[in-house]
Amino acid sequence: MGHGCVFVRSGVILRGPQGDPMLCHKLAAVAATALFSAMSAQATFIDFQSLEHVDSGNVSHGTSYSEDGFTVALVGAQLFDLNTFGTLEARYTGSTAMFNNNADGVISLTKIGGGTFNLFSIDLAELDGSFPATVTFTDNDGDVIAFALDGVAFGAQTFSFDSRFLGITSVSWAQTAAFHQFDNICIDERSCAIASVPEPGTLALLGIAGLAAWRRRNVQ
């Protein structure tokens, strides 16, 4: 006896009748697209790529920068702005990273409009190549975590926050010597692996593969 196809979209079961492979194909595509949309909607991965500039200099971006519903801002009066290196600058890490151009200047990360968020990881790199740096982060509850850059091999390293940085409303850190640059701030754990999530077309193909398996079961 054959069986119809079953897919789940947003908690709702979608059923295709026995003997109607075209409808099952459509349901597979709908379910796959909904899955990708749900993953993308919950992803927050601040990567500063919109600030990329092809040159050998550094560009100022003012005292605050907003992306994906979050704001990175300088705290208090500071002499210089937030900056990024051009892709031809020797200190470019291979991805557009931001840095505070003020010695001992403090940076904060908050959600636009307020509210809590989960901070999972951040990429850090030495600002001047071979100089080790320690970057200390403090959340709104006073929890502290420090990450060390050894200065041995220049390039971005990913550092993970512990469970104390879940459900926070802000986090701040200072640009103390030796200086650092930061990139790829991961907020919401789904976004940490978003690069490995298949595109809608790929998910649709997975749905088609599922349809093929359904047809084989019905043929047997």
* Confidence tier at 4 by pLDDT (50, 70, 90): low
CA 121, 97, 195 angle in degrees (round to 5)? 55
Number of domains present in the structure of the chain: 2
Domain that holds residue 30: 5-43+196-219
Does position 2 have pLDDT exceeding 70, yes or no? Answer: no
123 and 150 in a single domain? The answer is: yes
Question: Residue 204: helix, strand or coil by DSSP?
Answer: helix
- Are residue 11 and residue 71 in the same domain, yes or no? no
65 & 84 share domain: yes
- What confidence tens digit (pLDDT) does each residue in 182-212 have? 999 999 765 465 443 444 444 444 444 444 4
Specify whether 49 is located in the same domain as 104: yes
Based on the fold, state whether residues 34 and 125 are members of the same structural domain. no
- Residues 134-190: tens digit of each pLDDT: 999 999 999 999 999 988 878 899 999 999 999 999 999 999 888 999 999 999 765
Cα separation values, 49 from 13, 117, 119, 182, Å: 39, 22, 20, 12
pTM of the model: 0.69
Which bin fits 11, alpha (ψ -120 to 50), beta or left (φ > 0)? left
Distant-in-sequence, close-in-space partners of 142: CB < 8 Å, separation ≥ 6: none
Check residues 151 and 84 and name the one with the higher pLDDT: 84
Question: Do 87 and 162 fall into the same domain?
Answer: yes
The per-residue pLDDT for 168 is: 97
- Longest Cα–Cα distance of the chain, Å, equals 76
| pLDDT value of residue 8 | 47
If you ran DSSP here, which 8-state letter would residue 151 be given?
S
Q: Would you place residue 17 in the very low, low, confident or very high pLDDT band (cuts 50, 70, 90)?
A: low
d(CA 31, CA 35): 6
60 shares its domain with 162: yes
Instruction: Give the tens place of pLDDT for each residue, 96-122.
Output: 999 999 999 999 999 999 999 999 999
Residues 111, 210 share a domain: no
Q: Which residue has the higher pLDDT, 28 or 129?
A: 129
- Higher pLDDT residue, 139 or 33? 139
Q: What is the CATH number of the domain that holds 177?
A: 2.60.120
Amino acid occupying residue 40: S
Residues 124 and 203 in one domain: no
The answer, yes or no, to whether residue 48 has pLDDT greater than 50, is yes
**Domain shared by 68 and 174, yes or no:** yes
Cα(105)–Cα(80) distance, integer angstroms? 9
Q: How many CB atoms sit inside 10 A of residue 114's CB?
A: 8
In a shared domain, residues 150 and 116: yes
Do 37 and 145 fall into the same domain?
no
Quote the tokens at residue 32.
């796959």
- Cβ atoms of 118 and 105 closer than 8 Å: no
